[in-house]
Structure 1
Amino acid sequence: MLPLVVFLYKVSAPWPANRLRAVVLLAALFAGGATLHAQNKGRPAVSPLMQEVHQALSLAKHGDRQGAMNLVLRLLDQHPDFAPAIKLKAMLLEEAGRISEAAAAYEQALKLAPRDGDLLLKTGIYKLAGGQTAEALKLLQQCVRILPGDGDAQYYLAQAYHLNGEDELALRAIRLSLKAEPDNPSVWQKYGELLCSTWDCGAGLKWLLKAQRSDQTLPRIDYDIAAADYKLMDLVGTAQHATRAVELQPNDVTALRLLATVDMKLAKWQDARNAFERALALKSADVESLLGLGQCELELKNYPAAVDRLQTVLRLDPARLLAHFYLSRAFAGMGSMEDAEHEAALHQLMMQQATFARTAENEGREGPIKAQARQLLADHREEDALRLYREHFKGTGSTPADAYVFIGTLYLFMGNSEDGLRNLHHALDIQPTVRGAHTYEGILALKLGDLSRAEKEFKAELDNDPSYQMAIAEIGEVRYHQGRWSDAAEQLAKSKIKTPELLYMLCDSYFHIGKVSEANLTAETVAAYGRNNPQVMKDLIDLLQRNGQTDLAHRLSANLAQK
């Protein structure tokens, strides 16, 4: 999230420019004072009080903000619940840079005037900037009900929806903001940013460039363009705009990290190392920067430094699969083969437990190039990995989009969600019906616990190909996690999948719906396909024993012991 001052400045220039809504707020104070005050304990408007507010406004407009504040404070000493005075106090505090006090004053005024659209907006903005997204969303939704055509309200509502993971609603809100303020470069920038967040980066980049041409001083516009370029795989453009973003905002950790990341993609290891070190000087526990720096040290053959950085990553986030992978290489570079083998084995074990360790039906054809492609990706040679796939499948029915699905899936398997999704989305951009892209994005959503998003992606896959076994099976897994046992059993059985983890779910579902014979038969197929997976076998034996199938459990255990 942006620092509060930057966040506010993005659409709020210093008073008296209109983005601070001074004109609207002051108009409300002049014309709406009676209405606001009427909300205070039902008392009628008191004209002398509004005259004092007018006097304070006049002082402020002529540059005497301290005099204005003194007058407002005297007024509030006598009438502490007078909402227009509290509102003006909040504005003056905001102009003085006393942000936390301004936020508290706006919230105090809102309690006295709960249907004031401007107070709902301002309080919502401060909640949003403070990370209180749910509260901000409620306030901003109330605000647009009162001020549906307000460009600022729709702008910040779009931001709230975006931070809440509701990008379709965010796009709808920013389009309403654009309708209200069609010539506002800040709105163009936000629209472009949100289009990119929904992977319509081509259109998003056009809006971002339009905003930049209109106003090159827009906060973080170069970073937004760099991020769009990166998603569109324009590494040169990414480097250019990320460099400018860092020049303009040297303390922007996200811009430094993006610059370092693109330098790694371009194999500029020393430059990437420098950028990551700058990011870590600003945010010492930034896991992404630590991981990136560890990779850079590895490629520069600074093996002890790589080990130190990567072990720090794992202390902060033990689930970072790539850290184990690179740590294994670093130990090998130092000649510590026992440690290298341990890390490699740990990485492999974790990968087997991960969702993406499942077997696709075309693995036999892709198998010969998988290891080489993974190594190319680990070495940041994505174009070479794509070329390898194209050469391997030359003369077959494989499409250009299939190559990106393959690369995206490998990235996901390696624990790199960002690059994985980037490639999957690119595959869908060039061929919306390409097989597997929706399914693997759904599997990632499932892994992250987002059942709704997962189901949406699997259904999109099945709309393209109703017979796609993996998507059918994954719908079954969604139903399993929802506790819809009958539906889970139907979909999993229909998929005819051989994946041991999914067959275990089918077995468990059959037990839940009382189909014991089907459950026992399925248990035997789990044992056949999963006998080399100790965790699956342990879970299977436990499942059988819990459901009273002790004889089968003992038999399968004995077979396993004889292996």
Structure 2
Amino acid sequence: MLVCVTAIGAAQSAASRGDAVASVQLHQAVLAAKRGDSSQALRLAEALIASHPKYSPALKFEGSVLEQMGRDNEAERAYEAALQLAPKDVELQYKVGVARLLAGDTQEAIALFQQRLLQVPRDGDTLFYLAQAYHLQDENDLALKTIQRDLSVQPDSVMVWQKYGELLCSSGDNATALIWLTKAQHADPTLDRIDFDLGVASLRNEDLESAAQYAAKAVSLRSGDLRAEALLAEVDVKLSKWQEAEGPFLRVLAVKPKDPASLLGLGHCQLALKNYQAAVETLTRLLQLDQTIILAHFYLSRAYAGLGRMADADHEAELHSRLVEQAGSVVPTDERDAEKATLVQARQLLLDNHESEAIELFRQRAKGPTATPGAPYMLAGVVYLYMGRSEDAERLLKKALAIEPTVREAHTYLGLLALQQGDLEDAERDFRQELVAQPNSQLAVAELGEVRYRQQRWEDAAEQFVKSRTVQPALLYMLSDSYFHLGKVKEADLTAELAVGYAKDDLTSVQRVVDLLNRNQQTELAQRLSLQLAR
């Protein structure tokens, strides 16, 4: 090495000569590691980093030594520091990507795995973890495509077979999922969680006997596995084994006392066993966490009826009926989370003045009604609108309409922009234009209701809000207030409860509803709903 340095010395900078010295020191650390002396290797690496803090190979080596010593958190920090200095290092992209995935930062993990695959497109491990990251982001289509790529790279990997079966099950192809999971189990019965995966697939294929056997085995193999306990309870409920199901639900709730699925399942069991008071208490706990769970109101109504509390039973039945009517307006949680992740990413791009990248992001993530030419511009305009950048919002919304005159919701959001500016006439015009192109636009109908509300046309406002089946707390507040103005106190109270339910942790919205109830002498209901503020 010294000969090489001398030969090209005239062409090297002082920094390069420093790197050459550092490489000698790093070589000494590597030799210590090969001898099995991890402590000495780490000391040498730390000394090297102290004198050459921007020498990425030393940081990378330090991370590998720390990882071998089981000091994973310190190893992760070393790898991340090295990656900052060497962002194109494929090994560091993988190491940090896996760490980010395990830490729950799936978006960053996906970005790192994608960068690595640009250089090593057929790396099976990276494809495996990328598929898992997409799955955790509820991007099931991308997860399936990625694991299928991995299957072409690693056709004999039983872990890939198992993951493929799991992702097929998540996408709804339960019959094919069962084939791949069974194949994986036959090849290696010791695969981690294979019985759980088979139990889920069997349950979704309505093979309850097999599901029960797999779930019971999963519980016996992994004591304290809450997912396996929950699966066993779900199967027992399907089999109407109410007494047997209570135990697993209670074991889950002992660790996760606010788990909604377990509270609902336990309340259902208690109702079926005619333990009505216990069912009321369990379901009330659940509804204190989330008042929009439709089945909870149905079961609670039946539990109150079992206790002879018919007024309470009727009230819960009415809430259940209203929630059923509005169910079509509620976006499923997995879709909502995926959309939220995209919106957060797009907002950051717009904050950084990368408008074209934000539009391209929406184009790449487009599904269903948003997979049209004008939709990406419309969505970026919407993000601008909620960022308070009205001129940019209007510019992109109008561009979306120029590209695609029938693009969904562009007129609606232009109407919302007009509402923000207090222009009710322009707002109504835009909402009506939306309804000409999209007669079933619930948002346009609801916002037309807001126009009527601001005009104090209470009957018309209530009609539009009800027709829209809105679940927006602010609009439900307006509907409740409209009912109070019309003297329809019962309807106002029910709507106020729904508003609080959909507001969930938005304490400002909850307080507004409580204040509205107090102003209208509904103090008992106001006091009950205000408990949400105290939680």
Above 0.5 in TM-score? Answer: yes
CA distance in 2, matches of 1:231, 1:538: 31
Q: Does 1:241 align with 2:219?
A: no
Deviations 1:286-343 (A, max 9, x none): 1111111111111112222111111111111111111111111111112222222221
Aligned 8 A contact 2:431 2:447 in 1: no
Matches within 5 A, 1:496-507: 505=445
Q: Which residue is 1:326 aligned to?
A: 299
Matches within 5 A, 1:134-213: 134-213=107-186
Q: Which residue is 1:551 aligned to?
A: none
CA distance in 1, matches of 2:34, 2:443: 73
Shift of 1:42: 6.4
Matches within 5 A, 1:321-470: 321-355=294-328, 453=367, 455=369
Shift of 1:227: 1.4
Q: Does 1:109 align with 2:82?
A: yes
Structure 2 counterpart of 1:297, one-letter code: Q
Matches within 5 A, 1:310-321: 310-321=283-294
Note closer, same or farther for the CA distance 1:76–1:354 as it changes in structure 2 (3 Å cut): same
Q: Which residue is 1:256 aligned to?
A: 229
Shift of 1:355: 2.1
Note closer, same or farther for the CA distance 1:507–1:160 as it changes in structure 2 (3 Å cut): closer
1:271 to 215, 221, 244: 244
Note closer, same or farther for the CA distance 1:230–1:506 as it changes in structure 2 (3 Å cut): same
CA distance in 1, matches of 2:263, 2:190: 31
CA distance in 2, matches of 1:236, 1:210: 20
SS in 2 for 1:43: helix
Deviations 1:440-471 (A, max 9, x none): xxxxxxxxxxx9645389xxxxxxxxxxxxxx
Note closer, same or farther for the CA distance 1:188–1:49 as it changes in structure 2 (3 Å cut): farther
Q: Does 1:87 align with 2:60?
A: yes
Aligned 8 A contact 2:431 2:445 in 1: no
Q: Does 1:125 align with 2:93?
A: no
Aligned 8 A contact 2:101 2:133 in 1: yes
Shift of 1:79: 2.6
CA distance in 1, matches of 2:304, 2:231: 27
Note closer, same or farther for the CA distance 1:264–1:94 as it changes in structure 2 (3 Å cut): same
Shift of 1:52: 4.4
CA distance in 1, matches of 2:410, 2:433: 6
Q: Which residue is 2:280 aligned to?
A: 307
CA distance in 2, matches of 1:338, 1:238: 40
CA distance in 1, matches of 2:68, 2:209: 41
Shift of 1:490: 4.9
Q: Which residue is 1:535 aligned to?
A: 466
Shift of 1:268: 0.9
Q: Does 1:290 align with 2:263?
A: yes
Aligned 8 A contact 1:454 1:478 in 2: no
CA distance in 2, matches of 1:538, 1:126: 43
Aligned 8 A contact 1:53 1:85 in 2: yes
CA distance in 2, matches of 1:321, 1:41: 71
SS in 1 for 2:274: coil
Q: Which moved more, 1:172-181 or 1:236-245?
A: 172-181
Structure 2, unpaired ranges of 5+: 1-12, 335-364, 372-405, 415-429, 452-458, 476-485, 487-535
CA distance in 1, matches of 2:256, 2:34: 41
Aligned 8 A contact 2:97 2:113 in 1: yes
CA distance in 2, matches of 1:491, 1:270: 54
Structure 2 counterpart of 1:455, one-letter code: P
Note closer, same or farther for the CA distance 1:87–1:290 as it changes in structure 2 (3 Å cut): same
Aligned 8 A contact 2:130 2:143 in 1: yes
Instruction: Figure out how many residues of one structure are paired with residues of the other and give that number.
Output: 380
Note closer, same or farther for the CA distance 1:330–1:354 as it changes in structure 2 (3 Å cut): same
CA distance in 2, matches of 1:67, 1:254: 43
Shift of 1:123: 1.0
CA distance in 1, matches of 2:319, 2:432: 36
Note closer, same or farther for the CA distance 1:216–1:54 as it changes in structure 2 (3 Å cut): farther
CA distance in 2, matches of 1:115, 1:42: 21
Aligned 8 A contact 2:411 2:431 in 1: yes
Aligned 8 A contact 1:488 1:506 in 2: no
Q: Which residue is 1:380 aligned to?
A: none
Q: Which moved more, 1:318-327 or 1:236-245?
A: 236-245
Structure 2 counterpart of 1:69, one-letter code: L
Structure 2 counterpart of 1:332, one-letter code: A
CA distance in 1, matches of 2:88, 2:288: 49
Aligned 8 A contact 1:123 1:136 in 2: yes
Q: Does 1:280 align with 2:194?
A: no
CA distance in 2, matches of 1:41, 1:135: 36
Q: Which residue is 1:229 aligned to?
A: 202
SS in 1 for 2:104: coil
CA distance in 1, matches of 2:413, 2:199: 40
Shift of 1:138: 1.3
Q: Which residue is 2:8 aligned to?
A: none
Shift of 1:417: 9.5
Aligned 8 A contact 1:86 1:105 in 2: yes
Aligned 8 A contact 1:476 1:489 in 2: no
Matches within 5 A, 1:11-30: none
Computed over aligned residues only, the root mean square deviation of the Cα atoms, in angstroms, reads: 4.2
Deviations 1:13-38 (A, max 9, x none): xxxxxxxxxxxxxxxxxxxxxxxxxx
CA distance in 2, matches of 1:416, 1:132: 22
Shift of 1:346: 1.8
Matches within 5 A, 1:534-553: 535-536=466-467
CA distance in 1, matches of 2:315, 2:265: 22
Shift of 1:241: 1.4
Structure 2 counterpart of 1:535, one-letter code: V
SS in 2 for 1:354: helix
CA distance in 1, matches of 2:294, 2:14: 60
CA distance in 1, matches of 2:322, 2:89: 57
Matches within 5 A, 1:509-528: none
TM-score by length of 2: 0.61
Shift of 1:41: 11
Deviations 1:254-279 (A, max 9, x none): 22111111110001111111001111
Aligned 8 A contact 1:476 1:490 in 2: no
Shift of 1:226: 1.4
Note closer, same or farther for the CA distance 1:96–1:352 as it changes in structure 2 (3 Å cut): same
